[in-house]
Amino acid sequence: MRARTRLLDVNTGNFTVFINPEDAKEGRLHPEDLVKIETGKRTVYGTVAIGDFVGRGEIGISQDILEVQPFSEGEAVVVVPAGTPESVRYIRKKMRGEKLRKVEIEAIVKDIVDRKLRDVEISAFVTALEINGLDMDEIAALTVAMAETGHMLDIDRKPIMDVHSIGGVPGNKTNVLVVPIVAAAGLTIPKTSSRAITSAAGTADVVEVLTNVTLSLDEIKRIVEKIGACLVWGGALNLAPADDITIKVERRLSIDPRGLMLASIMSKKYAIGSQYILIDIPTGRGVKVESMEEARSLARDFIELGKRLGQYVEVAITYGGQPIGHTVGPALEAKEALEALMTGKGPGSLIEKALGLAGILLEMGGVAPAGMGKKIAREILESGKAYQKMREIIAEQGGDPDIKPDDVPIGDKTYTFTAPTSGYVTGIDNRAVTAIAREAGAPEDKGAGITFHVKVGEKVKEGDPLFTIHAESETRLDRAIVLARRLDPIKIEGMVLQRIGNI
198 is in an annotated binding site: yes
User: Residue 183's pLDDT is what?
Assistant: 98
Report the CATH number that the domain containing residue 26 is assigned in CATH: 2.40.40.20
Pairwise CA distance, residues 193 & 314, whole Å: 19
Could you give the number of structural domains in the chain? 4
Mean pLDDT of 18-40: 91
| 163/39: higher pLDDT | 163
The answer to whether residue 259 is domain-embedded is no
- Let me know whether 337 and 371 are in one domain: yes
288 is in an annotated binding site: yes
The answer to whether residue 403 is domain-embedded is no
Pairwise CA distance, residues 190 & 223, whole Å: 9
pLDDT at 496 over 70: no
- Let me know whether 273 and 313 are in one domain: yes
Band of residue 499 on the pLDDT scale cut at 50, 70, 90: low
The answer to whether residue 408 is domain-embedded is no
- Let me know whether 208 and 326 are in one domain: yes
pLDDT at 206 over 90: yes
- Let me know whether 230 and 373 are in one domain: yes
473 is in an annotated binding site: no
Nearest to 428 by CA among 455, 462, 461: 455
- Let me know whether 20 and 111 are in one domain: no
Instruction: Decide: helix, strand or coil at residue 93.
Output: helix
5 is in an annotated binding site: no
- Let me know whether 59 and 208 are in one domain: no
Burial (CB < 10 A; 0-12, 13-18, 19+), residue 485, is exposed
User: Residue 495's pLDDT is what?
Assistant: 63
Alpha-helical segments (H) within 100-211: 102-113, 119-132, 136-148, 175-184, 203-207
Band of residue 318 on the pLDDT scale cut at 50, 70, 90: very high
Angle 212-217-223 from CA coordinates, rounded to 5°? 60
The answer to whether residue 139 is domain-embedded is no
The answer to whether residue 172 is domain-embedded is yes
Report the CATH number that the domain containing residue 179 is assigned in CATH: 3.40.1030.10
Q: Considering the entire predicted model, what is its pTM? A: 0.89
The answer to whether residue 255 is domain-embedded is no
| Farthest-apart Cα atoms in the chain, separation | 88
List the 413-418 sheet strands across, edge first.
Answer: 327-328, 449-452, 465-471, 413-418
pLDDT at 198 over 90: no
**Could you say which DSSP state residue 303 is in?**
H
Q: Which of 205, 243, 256, 429 is catalytic?
A: 256
Mean pLDDT of the chain: 94
The answer to whether residue 260 is domain-embedded is no
- Let me know whether 71 and 129 are in one domain: no
Band of residue 48 on the pLDDT scale cut at 50, 70, 90: very high
The last residue of a domain, from among 367, 397, 427: 397
Tens of pLDDT, residues 405-434 = 999 999 999 999 999 999 999 999 999 999
* Residues spanned by the domain of 98: 86-133
Report the DSSP pairing between strands 312-319 and 327-328: unpaired
- Let me know whether 284 and 189 are in one domain: yes
197 is in an annotated binding site: yes
The answer to whether residue 72 is domain-embedded is yes
- Let me know whether 321 and 393 are in one domain: yes
Report the CATH number that the domain containing residue 457 is assigned in CATH: 3.90.1170.30
Active site annotation includes 256: yes
pLDDT at 228 over 90: yes
* Helix (H) or strand (E) segment spanning residue 437: helix 430-439
User: Residue 503's pLDDT is what?
Assistant: 61
- Let me know whether 427 and 388 are in one domain: no
- Let me know whether 458 and 351 are in one domain: no
Burial (CB < 10 A; 0-12, 13-18, 19+), residue 402, is exposed
- Let me know whether 435 and 479 are in one domain: yes
Q: Alpha-carbon Rg of the chain, whole angstroms?
A: 25
Tens of pLDDT, residues 333-382 = 999 999 999 999 999 999 999 999 999 999 999 999 999 999 999 999 99
pLDDT at 234 over 90: no
Q: What percent of the chain has pLDDT over 70?
A: 99
The last residue of a domain, from among 397, 422, 448: 397
The last residue of a domain, from among 371, 397, 423: 397
Q: What percentage of the chain's residues is helix, strand, coil (to nearest 5)?
A: 45, 20, 35
